[in-house]
């Protein structure tokens, strides 16, 4: 039995609500989810789906919102932003302990780390980097109101909202360097640049995408943090994850970019600026913001693994390693903001 799945309850719900799924079904926890839990669901016909639900405990306020994920992939499916096919949403937490949704399974390579990057043929790596940027530009061209997401557009700025949210939530995670996080929070709050509006994914990186063998992006996953806000927040996050050989500052999360053949950070930014036509001069601020925000997120993830509510997906040791590196990210953010 997979943690977080009531097989009988989910099967009964599927029988009543999703007749295209042939019972019985099998569930397997998929490694790679660091916040919400993702399962591969295989039905009696051999068709495969992905099921997403929150952790089994330690859920932070406003996080792990399955309804949000569902809304964004359903709204974006008709656009040129590649997302998994939305299948069904279950709003009843009694079925398996939390709301969940079902989407089509996208069979591709998730570029979550260097090992995954090496599995992509070297000629395809440059294309993969270009595709990441081109997909981000397509997302940032989508008008939230035009796709039925107008009610997600907020009157207050994205950065201000994020600073409040993560500053509040990190205080419940038992992090040891809270004074440093407080200091950088105050520096960020005092230097917020002017902001525009669009759709922000919130965790846009190769580890949340599926790629074809030629480097084409097949789908973007993990929309739990999606909202309206300044598109440079997504670019800043992507750049903060994009490691190059010899970097002293750790990436905000693991990725494939240090493998030979992937484009550089400068290449990413230049490609984005050219395709989008956006002014990227405030990008250093958004990179610093991303590093601070990452430290807040990592503290929460580490706390959930320590509490044993994330299932046995093999990531617990890496979560502890990432938590140990997070303080260096905050120090780097402070250095950027002081210059």
pLDDT confidence tier of residue 318, bands split at 50, 70 and 90: low
pLDDT at 302: 64
pLDDT at 300: 72
Say which residue the tokens 């030979």 belong to.
260
pLDDT at 61: 44
| Joined tokens for residue 301 | 């993830």
- Percent of the chain clearing pLDDT 90 (strictly above): 75
pLDDT confidence tier of residue 145, bands split at 50, 70 and 90: very high
pLDDT at 170: 86
pLDDT at 257: 98
Tell me the fold of 114-338.
Aminoglycoside 3'-phosphotransferase; Chain: A, domain 2 (3.90.1200)
Cα separations in angstroms, 67 against 72, 162, 336: 9, 19, 36
| Residue spans of beta strands (DSSP E) within 162-204 | 198-200
Whether pLDDT at 289 is above 90: yes
pLDDT at 258: 97
Whether pLDDT at 45 is above 90: yes
The overall average pLDDT reported for the chain is 90
100: nearest Cα among 76, 70, 61: 70
Region 192-205: what's the mean pLDDT?
94
Lowest mean pLDDT among 6-15, 170-179, 205-214, 261-270: 170-179
Region 236-261: what's the mean pLDDT?
96
| Joined tokens for residue 122 | 């070297």
Which residue spans of the chain are classified as CATH 3.30.200.20?
7-104
Backbone angles phi, psi at 168, to 5 degrees: -65, -45
Which residue spans of the chain are classified as CATH 3.90.1200.10?
114-338
Lowest mean pLDDT among 65-69, 129-133, 204-208: 65-69
pLDDT confidence tier of residue 339, bands split at 50, 70 and 90: confident
pLDDT at 64: 61
pLDDT at 33: 46
7-104 CATH: 3.30.200.20
């Amino acid at each position: 039995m997979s943690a977080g799945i009531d097989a009988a309850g989910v099967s009964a719900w599927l029988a009543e609500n999703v007749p295209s799924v042939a019972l019985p079904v099998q569930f397997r926890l998929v490694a790679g989810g660091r916040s919400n839990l993702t399962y591969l669901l295989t039905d009696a016909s051999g068709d495969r789906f992905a099921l997403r639900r929150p952790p089994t405990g330690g859920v932070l306020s406003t996080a792990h919102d399955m309804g949000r994920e569902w809304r964004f992939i359903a709204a974006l499916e008709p656009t040129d932003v590649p997302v998994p096919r939305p299948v069904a949403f279950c709003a009843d937490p009694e079925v398996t302990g939390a709301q969940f949704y079902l989407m089509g399974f996208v069979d591709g390579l998730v570029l979550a780390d260097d090992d995954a990057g090496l599995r992509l043929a070297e000629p395809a790596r440059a294309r993969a980097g270009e595709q990441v940027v081109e997909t981000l530009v397509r997302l940032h061209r989508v008008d939230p109101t035009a796709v039925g997401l107008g009610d997600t557009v907020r009157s207050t700025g994205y950065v201000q909202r994020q600073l409040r949210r993560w500053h509040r939530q990190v205080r419940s995670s038992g992090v040891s360097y809270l004074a440093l996080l407080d200091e950088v929070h105050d520096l960020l709050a005092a230097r917020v640049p002017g902001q525009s509006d669009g759709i922000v994914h919130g965790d846009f990186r190769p580890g949340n995408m599926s790629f074809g063998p030629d480097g084409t992006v097949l789908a973007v996953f993990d929309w739990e943090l999606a909202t309206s806000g300044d598109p440079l927040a997504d670019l800043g996050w992507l750049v903060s994850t994009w490691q190059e050989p010899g970097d002293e500052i750790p990436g905000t999360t693991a990725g494939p970019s240090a493998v030979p053949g992937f484009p550089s950070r400068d290449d990413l930014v230049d490609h984005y600026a050219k395709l989008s036509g956006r002014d990227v001069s405030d990008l250093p601020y958004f990179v610093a913001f991303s590093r601070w925000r990452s430290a807040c997120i990592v503290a929460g993830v580490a706390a959930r693994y320590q509490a044993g509510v994330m299932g046995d997906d093999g990531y617990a040791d890496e979560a502890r390693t990432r938590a140990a590196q997070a303080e260096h990210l905050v120090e780097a953010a402070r250095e950027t903001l002081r210059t």
